[in-house]
């Protein structure tokens, strides 16, 4: 089986889009990620999967905190900024939830403390203990087969 077939198959799992954010010595760093899942209700745990080449990896190891920002349908540009898909640098302002950096307008902001990390292949799974949540009443951004979409209308932007 080649890499392309594996990626194509995984892309058939429709997901939302999140921006994972963390902060080290006052510097906030974000990264777009769709490898996010709820793990446990009691205690409240989530997991994110971060590639070994991602700059945010060592930052989360150091800070021991991260937030998951589930993007709204009108936040595709933020997804592209934090996936390094835009050529020009854009300033992004972060709000705070439980003292941690979060993105205003996200459908859900989830603040976490790292409770465990597991290296699996070329990714690290961070288990996050949820310390606070903020919700907005908005439609989510959707990612399917390498394209951004919304629940109401299809968008034709290929990654």
Contacts from 148-156 at CB under 8 Å and sequence distance 24+? 148/17, 148/76, 148/79, 150/73, 151/73, 152/73, 155/76
Chain residues that interact with ligand FAD, rule: CB under 6 A: 17, 28-35, 49-51, 54-56, 81-84, 89, 92, 143, 159
Least separation in angstroms between residue 101's CB and ligand FAD is 8
Yes or no: say if 109 and 102 are a contact pair by the CB < 8 Å rule: yes
Residues forming a β-bridge with 16: 142
Least separation in angstroms between residue 152's CB and ligand FAD is 19
Tell me if the bond preceding 43 is cis, omega within 30° of 0. Answer: yes
- How many other β-carbons are positioned within 10 Å of the β-carbon of residue 65? 22
**With respect to ligand FAD, which residue has the nearer C-beta, 130 or 143?**
143
**With respect to ligand FAD, which residue has the nearer C-beta, 7 or 135?**
7
**With respect to ligand FAD, which residue has the nearer C-beta, 50 or 130?**
50
Cα separation of 132 and 109, whole Å?
8
Q: Which residue is nearest to ligand FAD (CB)?
A: 35
Least separation in angstroms between residue 135's CB and ligand FAD is 22
**With respect to ligand FAD, which residue has the nearer C-beta, 81 or 111?**
81
Least separation in angstroms between residue 50's CB and ligand FAD is 5
């Amino acid at each position: 089986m080649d890499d392309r077939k594996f990626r194509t198959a995984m892309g058939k799992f429709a997901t939302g889009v999140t921006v994972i954010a963390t902060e080290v010595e006052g510097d906030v760093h974000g990264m777009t990620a769709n490898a996010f899942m709820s793990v446990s209700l009691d205690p409240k745990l989530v997991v994110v999967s971060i590639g070994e080449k991602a700059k945010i990896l060592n930052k989360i190891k150091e800070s021991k905190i991260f937030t998951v920002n589930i993007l709204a349908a009108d936040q595709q540009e933020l997804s592209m900024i934090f996936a390094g898909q835009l050529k020009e640098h854009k300033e992004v302002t972060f709000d705070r939830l439980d003292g941690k950096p979060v993105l205003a307008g996200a459908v859900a902001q989830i603040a976490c403390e790292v409770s465990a990390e597991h290296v699996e292949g070329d990714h690290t799974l961070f288990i996050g203990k949820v310390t606070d949540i903020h919700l907005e009443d908005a439609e989510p951004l959707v990612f399917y087969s390498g394209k951004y979409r919304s629940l109401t209308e299809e968008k034709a932007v290929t990654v």
